[in-house]
A and B are shown apart, each in its own frame.
Chain A
Amino acid sequence: MVAMQYYLLLSAAIFCIGVFGVLTRRNALIFLMSVELMLNAANINLVAFSFQYGNLTGQVFALFVMALAAAEVAVGLGIIMVLFRNFADVDVTKATTMRW
């Protein structure tokens, strides 16, 4: 059996890759993809603990998270379209009007 620590480590690694993407990438679409990565890292965690405790709640919850991620992507793409319309670029570092 794969010990629990490795599931957690995997989940942590994928999460941190997602965070890395959020912190460094400039294209808004890639930004959104990194956010998806983070969500899925959480999913791995949920399923792992569902296996640990022998309770299906974690898996069902992961299903719900996936559905939510889909909904969020739909709205997020719409926002990116509006962003492009206002700033003529999908570069997130160009949209800097809400500042001091």
Chain B
Amino acid sequence: MTALGEPNVTAIVFFIAFIGLSLGITVWAARKTRTTDQFYAAGRSVTAFQNGLALAGDYMSAASFLGIAGLVALSGFDGLIYSVGWLVGWPIVMFLIAEPLRNLGRYTFADVLAARLRATPIRIAASIGALAVITFYLIAQMVGAGNLIRLLFGLPYETAIVIVGMVMLAYVLFGGMIATTWVQIVKAVMLLGGATLMALLVLSRFGMNPLALFAAAQARYGDSVLSPGRLVSDPVDAISLGLALMLGTAGLPHILMRFYTVPDAKTARTSVGYATAFIGFFYLLTFILGFGAMVLIGRDAITAVDAGGNMAAPLLAKGIGGNSFLGFIAAVAFATILAVVAGLTLSGAATLSHDLWVNVVRGADADEREQLVVARLATIVLAGLSIALGIAFKGQNVAYMVGLAFAIAASANFPALVLSIFWGRLTTAGAQASMIVGTVSTLTLIYLSPTIQLDVLKHAEAWFPLRNPGIVTIPLSFATAIVVSLLRPAPAEARRFVELERQLHLGVE
């Protein structure tokens, strides 16, 4: 009898098969990674369908798979609030960002700002927001990885962190964006396939009718599982979280970077359509899986393994498909983490090398060979940093860090990016001030919020009442950009905006 946390033969077989396949992809990709266009942007040859899957693979983290299934299993309807929140940013990415970003930039979102504003100061400011988002997101993923792998495979926490860090380093260092893209595609197919199969197995016990499943949950745990519970107790906080999730998606550096891997803006647009379809479908599935775990496994059995409910989906896999299915789902969860951290590390490396080294330090005067060397050094530094941070934050509650990453992305990156695309009077000083105010105000208010003051530091009260600062910091960041730009107009920059209008729509001709 194998249980969670003990070595599971199927899990190890699937895990080794995935590592073997992904390293094989990396060897193949390494031969095709000779230029910066290939390293950062996969030679701009990714198709819309492939990029849609890769975007989904980059975005659907283990936290959303295991966390939302667990939240639904323990609280029912409330989990749906999160599922919906994680999806609604994608249409915004399509309507406002994807096509102009592809047409105006090369490797990072800072390229878009640098195209029309003074490049050096704007890249420095954009890098602060980008690196802050990437660091917090990486910490959350690494700590989650360590805990998850310990629970699923019984490996020590530190060993798990080092394995994740080293395998991810191999992907990015040798295979760049080509390997990262294919790892994300394989992961997305495994995750969508595994979750679909599991949902079908659950529904087969309820006559293929989700309502029969929900009714069974209602019969066992009462009407409350179908109605809003305690998750949204403060309306302002709920709106604030919603704003950060929605606009933060459109400001995540590793997601934005993926739009440079496709040949043109039309392909970028279509790829968001595929991504939205896949991600929405996935979150509907997690809702079925959560209710399946609630009914077929039971809340007591789930909280007995992990109080937060994170093991609901693996327990469900074991309950309906036995140890081999549990092994498969465990390997899927591992693949999920690797794909997300690889995307984050690559976008961090692009910020450090393309934005800061090549364009700020070297004044855009670095040859192809130097750019690749610096990009790879930056990758090694980031992999080392993520292993160190993963170990440093062992045993700490880092769940809030994903929310923090989204809040910074929404407050520091999104306002400057969207204004630079839409508003001709934006100035360098305005965009700079907005990005710095967005980052600093978000960090300050999170520090003063109940999340840090009560939950982490165990103080009696918090100075700032909201757990999610977005409702304050996002308007503040927009207002800063607008006020600073209007106070000190820059006619040359406004003319540059008009000159770029054609490129914004038609791309580089």
Query: Do A and B come from the same complex?
Result: no
A binding-site residues for B, Cβ under 8 Å: none
